[in-house]
Amino acid sequence: MNLIMTLFLRELRSYFVTPVAYVFIVIFLLLSGAFTFYLGEFFQREQADLEAFFIYHPWLYLFLVPAVSMRLWSEERKSGSIELLLTLPVTMWQTVAAKFLAAWSFIGISLLLTFPLWLTVNYLGEPDNGVIFTGYLGSLLMSGSFLAIGACLSAATRSQAVAFILSVVVCLLLLLAGFPMVLDFFRAIAPAGLVDAIAGLSFLTHYNAIAKGVINLRDLIYFLLSIGFWLYANAVVIDLKKAD
């Protein structure tokens, strides 16, 4: 546990010694604000909730999370520091977990910094803070799944740009699988069971439920399983590709 903590802190600090972290946080806050107020019509809705805020998070994460995850492993591979890291007396699991947790915490910090919105909605009305809390939880879980995908794909290449594009494409596919348009298309040609399976794979289906305040064990397990699966794949990819 101590070792994970040491690796975790080194990784998390590395975000803040370069301007990358600050640029990311500013962009995240600007975009999430813009989506909430312009696209989500926060004020015009005249409802004391943050649905207008959470509803756009999947699309925000689609580009911002791969921007965080792209450097996780590809940079280590490019600079050769992966050789140093993996010959220290730590296990592969400790390094994979520590790196993932550091990046996830970083996104978590960005998400926490949206608190003025929560203050605003509490000032303007009397929202159901339980629903807002599950909204944040769902958002964090979804960002974790995006991140695990990004971490795995980042281990597959030395190029951060390639890692970014691959991650965006895979995340987009998983998002679109739950899009009504896509599901309607499949409904026309595929049996209902298959349509349900496709919808069941989608981030969107599971996220929307949590973001609306409904905590369903199935949705929680879905996100945790997908994080676990992609991190396992991450370790396998590192083992396969570290020699090139």
- The nearest distance, CB 72 to other proteins, in angstroms, is 13
Please give the Cα distance from 240 to 76 (Å, whole number). 15
Residue closer to other proteins, measured from CB, 184 or 239: 239
Please give the Cα distance from 229 to 68 (Å, whole number). 19
Residue closer to other proteins, measured from CB, 35 or 100: 100
Residue closer to other proteins, measured from CB, 91 or 129: 91
- The nearest distance, CB 63 to other proteins, in angstroms, is 24
The closest of 67, 99, 71 to 85, measured between CA atoms, is 99
Residue 49's SS3 state is coil
- The nearest distance, CB 95 to other proteins, in angstroms, is 10
Residue closer to other proteins, measured from CB, 43 or 93: 93
Q: Are 141 and 220 in contact (CB under 8 A)?
A: yes
Residues lying near other proteins in the complex (CB under 8 A) are found at: 2-3, 6-7, 10, 13-14, 17-18, 79-81, 83-84, 86-91, 242-243
The closest of 61, 58, 53, 47 to 35, measured between CA atoms, is 53
- The nearest distance, CB 13 to other proteins, in angstroms, is 8
| Rounded alpha-carbon distances, angstroms, from residue 161 to 69, 157, 175 | 11, 9, 21
Residue closer to other proteins, measured from CB, 44 or 87: 87
- The nearest distance, CB 174 to other proteins, in angstroms, is 32
Lookup result for tokens 């965006």: 168
Please give the Cα distance from 185 to 179 (Å, whole number). 10
